Chain A
Amino acid sequence: MTIRFTEDHEWISLDGDVATVGITTFAQGQLGDVVFVEVPEAGRALTKGKDAAVVESVKAASEVFAPVDGTVVEGNQAVVEDPSLVNSDPQGAGWFFKMTLANPSQLDGLMDQAAYDAFVEGQH
Chain B
Amino acid sequence: MRYLPLTEADRRDMLAAIGAPSVDALFGDVPAAAHLTQPIAGLAPHQGELQVERALSRLAARNVPAGSCPSFLGAGAYRHHVPASVDQLLTRGEFLTSYTPYQPEVTQGTLQYLFEFQTQVALITGMDVANASMYDGATACAEAVLMANRVTRRNRAVLSGGLHPHYRDVTATTTGVLGVELVTLPADPKGIEDLAAAIDDKTSCVVVQNPTLFGHIADLTPLAEACHAKGALLVVVVTEVVSLGLMPSPGSMGADIVVAEGQSIGNGLNFGGPYLGLFATRDKFVRQMPGRLCGETVDADGKRGFVLTLSTREQHIRREKATSNICTNSGLCALAFTMHLSLLGELGFTGLATLNHAKAVQLADKLAAAGVTVLNQGFFNEFTVQVKGDAAALVDTLAAEPILAGVPVSRLHPGQADLADLLLVAVTETTTEDDMDALVKALGGTL
Binding site for B on A (CB under 8 A): 36, 56-61
Contact = CB atoms under 8 A, between A and B. Distances in A.
8 contacts: A36-B287, A36-B312, A56-B312, A58-B311, A59-B311, A59-B317, A60-B317, A61-B318
Nearest to B318: A61
Nearest to A55: B312
A58 to B, nearest CB: 7
Contacts of B317: 59-61
A39 to B, nearest CB: 14
Nearest to B308: A58
A28 B97 CA distance: 38
Given A59-B311, A59-B317, 12 more contacts: A36-B287, A36-B312, A56-B312, A57-B312, A58-B309, A58-B311, A58-B312, A60-B312, A60-B317, A61-B317, A61-B318, A61-B321
Contacts of A57: 312
Contacts of B318: 61
A60 B317 CA distance: 6
Interface in B264-297: 287
Nearest to B322: A61
A59 B318 CA distance: 10
* B interface, size bucket: under 10
Interface of B: 287, 309, 311-312, 317-318, 321
B87 to A, nearest CB: 36
Contacts of B309: 58
A113 to B, nearest CB: 30
A59 B314 CA distance: 10
A57 B318 CA distance: 12
A86 to B, nearest CB: 14
A57 B309 CA distance: 11
A24 B50 CA distance: 66
Nearest to A36: B312
Nearest to A58: B311
User: Max chain A CB contacts within 10 Å: which of B287, B311, B312?
Assistant: B312
Nearest to A54: B312
A61 B287 CA distance: 13
The 7 closest A-B pairs by CB, nearest first: A61-B312, A56-B312, A61-B317, A61-B318, A59-B317, A60-B317, A36-B312
A58 B311 CA distance: 7
A58 B287 CA distance: 13
Contacts of B311: 58-59
Contacts of B312: 36, 56-58, 60-61
Nearest to B321: A61
A58 B321 CA distance: 16
Nearest to A57: B312
A66 B77 CA distance: 51
Contacts of A59: 311, 317
A57 B312 CA distance: 8
B306 to A, nearest CB: 14
Nearest to A38: B287
A87 B309 CA distance: 20
Contacts of B287: 36
A94 B44 CA distance: 66
Contacts of A61: 312, 317-318, 321
A22 to B, nearest CB: 19
A90 to B, nearest CB: 19
Nearest to B316: A59
A56 B311 CA distance: 10
Contacts of B321: 61
A60 B316 CA distance: 10
A82 B287 CA distance: 17
A59 B316 CA distance: 9
User: Max chain B CB contacts within 10 Å: which of A36, A57, A58, A60?
Assistant: A58
A73 to B, nearest CB: 23
Nearest to B319: A61
B148 to A, nearest CB: 19
B334 to A, nearest CB: 23
Contacts of A60: 312, 317
Contacts of A56: 312
A61 B323 CA distance: 13
Nearest to A63: B321
A57 B321 CA distance: 16
A59 B313 CA distance: 10
B320 to A, nearest CB: 12
A60 B312 CA distance: 7
Nearest to A60: B317
A21 B88 CA distance: 58
User: Max chain B CB contacts within 10 Å: which of A56, A57, A59, A60?
Assistant: A56
A63 to B, nearest CB: 8
A109 to B, nearest CB: 27
A56 B321 CA distance: 13
Nearest to A61: B312
Nearest to B287: A36
A124 to B, nearest CB: 24
Contacts of A36: 287, 312
A61 B60 CA distance: 49
A56 B287 CA distance: 12
A56 B317 CA distance: 10
